[in-house]
Amino acid sequence: MKLIEFTNKGLYCIPGKFYIDPWRPVDLAVISHGHGDHAKWGMKKYLCHHFTKPILKIRIGEDIEVQSVGYEDPVLINGVKVSFHPAGHIVGSSQIRMEYKGYVTVFSGDYKVQDDEISTPFEVVRCNEFITESTFGLPIYNWLTPQQYSEQLKVWVESNRQQGKTSVFVGYSLGKAQRIMKSVEGFGKIFVHSSIGRLNEAIESVGIDLPEYETILFNDDLKKVNQEIVIVPPALLDSNMIRKIPNRATGLCSGWMQVRGSRRWRSADAGFAISDHADWNGLLDTVKATGAEKVHVTHGQTAVFSKYLNEIGIEAFEAKTNFGDEEESEKDELNKEETE
């Protein structure tokens, strides 16, 4: 049975007549999570998880038409049973399960199998057909535990403090920033850029508790952050705002920091391989656990990962999508904020 197809607008559910995370305007967009490469402007109607709804309204617009549901709370769309299941990527992130005439297809979106104590933990969903990301689909990517990364960040903060330096962490406004906050909770005063603060408020509005923080703006006097903890989005790494922070040391938080030398492409003092995506083993274990007979591999190391799956007896195909440029959407958001 052919339940889905990849089109120039995005992933299309044929009998359901809806799209999942489309990148061009459609009538009904089922959204896996709030990152800008998966949740685009211009859809007539959006369907997402309850936790994602306030994020979409902040990032896309308050006047959008959006319906939200809870995890494992099915919705029937043109005969297709659609339900959302935890993806563990960021707050509200979901795998989209579609069932039609007994056949089940699951779109994973972006996912992380480690529990970061903020996002709802990942849940394996059994299916006939699985669509997986492969951002870090190479054997060289193997993450430490969240606890080990938390210890790394705290050691770095303490070292900076002893040298009279301010610890500036760089991470995406949605997902990574909140994870950094959780990792250094209780280890000093936390300041976050206003773009992060706005998303923190959206997350807190659905009842999720975050560590205590203070928001800073572009034109603030930043002397108050001296020797404390500051979190900013990647688009600000080389900005005038960063340069205003006294005695700063910058730490880039990204899975790409796993590879020696990756830090050279950015002017950072330290790199921490903290990712909100699954590593090689996480991807492989998940695909096996779904029991899927057919696997589509999207955005990332599609060639390597699909080839390996075929070699171990799992039928896999590369699938072209437009996902993967969350940083560009953050730049647009920051530019908008500066002009408001």
The domain that holds 250 is classified in CATH as: 3.40.50.10890
Amino acid 336: pLDDT = 43
* Longest CA pairwise span in the chain (Å): 64
Q: Does residue 181 sit in the same domain as residue 267?
A: yes
Residue 330 covered by a domain = no
Q: Which domain holds residue 72?
A: 4-140+277-325
Amino acid 327: pLDDT = 52
Q: Does residue 313 sit in the same domain as residue 232?
A: no
Q: Does residue 12 sit in the same domain as residue 95?
A: yes
Q: Does residue 131 sit in the same domain as residue 157?
A: no
Residue 170 covered by a domain = yes
Residue 340 covered by a domain = no
Instruction: Name the residue with tokens 């990204």.
Output: 254
Residue 183 covered by a domain = yes
Q: Does residue 245 sit in the same domain as residue 306?
A: no
Amino acid 118: pLDDT = 95
Q: Does residue 44 sit in the same domain as residue 109?
A: yes
**Which pTM was predicted?**
0.93
Residue 103 covered by a domain = yes
B/e letters for 83-107, b = 16+ CB within 10 Å, e = fewer, are: bbbbbbbbbbbbbbbbbbeeebbbb
* Number of domains making up the chain: 2
The domain that holds 76 is classified in CATH as: 3.60.15.10
Instruction: Give the tens place of pLDDT for each residue, 70-120.
Output: 999 999 999 999 999 999 999 999 999 999 999 999 999 999 999 999 999
Residue 202 covered by a domain = yes
- Extract the tokens encoding 221: 């006097």
Amino acid 194: pLDDT = 94
Q: How confident is the model at residue 258 (pLDDT cuts 50, 70, 90)?
A: confident
Q: Lowest mean pLDDT of 14-23, 109-118, 178-187, 211-220, name the range.
A: 211-220
Q: Which of 272, 302, 334 is the last residue of a domain?
A: 272
